[in-house]
Amino acid sequence: MAPEKRTVKTTITENPVVVYSKTWCSYSSEVKTLLKKLGCEPLVIELDQLGPQGPQLQKVLERLTGQHTVPNLFIGGKHIGGCTDTVKLHRRGELESLLSEASAKKTEI
């Protein structure tokens, strides 16, 4: 397995919520804001801040998911998709339960 692929697989397995993002992307910002609003602190990987590794990771993500754009969201190790997919899940009321199942939401005390 290529090191980048191993990195991606390990990252999405070991973290309940992972957002592959770019700092300048408005869709990425929308997803990150939505997750925070729902009480989730995702692991955010800003591909545009990784130097040459960024495009390599993006190619690996495309091979794994079929999606070449950011944001690229994973919850509980499962590929969710991009901004449109995430917002649709939220509108249907399914995003919060996915976050809960992945133990990604902070519990209220």
The CATH number of the domain holding residue 84 is 3.40.30.10
pLDDT of residue 106: 57
Is residue 29 within 8 A of residue 53, CB to CB? The reply is no
Condensed to tens digits (0 to 9), the pLDDT of residues 44-76 reads 999 999 999 999 999 999 999 999 999 999 999
Is position 4 within any domain?
Answer: no
> How many domains does the structure of the chain reveal?
1
**Strands 78-81 and 72-75: what pairing?**
antiparallel
Is residue 86 within 8 A of residue 95, CB to CB? The reply is yes
pLDDT confidence bin for 108, thresholds 50/70/90: very low
Is residue 54 within 8 A of residue 7, CB to CB? The reply is no
Range of the domain at 47: 15-107
pTM of the complete model: 0.92
CA–CA distance, 96 with 100 (Å, rounded to integer): 6
Give the strands of the sheet with 72-75, arranged side by side. Answer: 43-46, 17-21, 72-75, 78-81
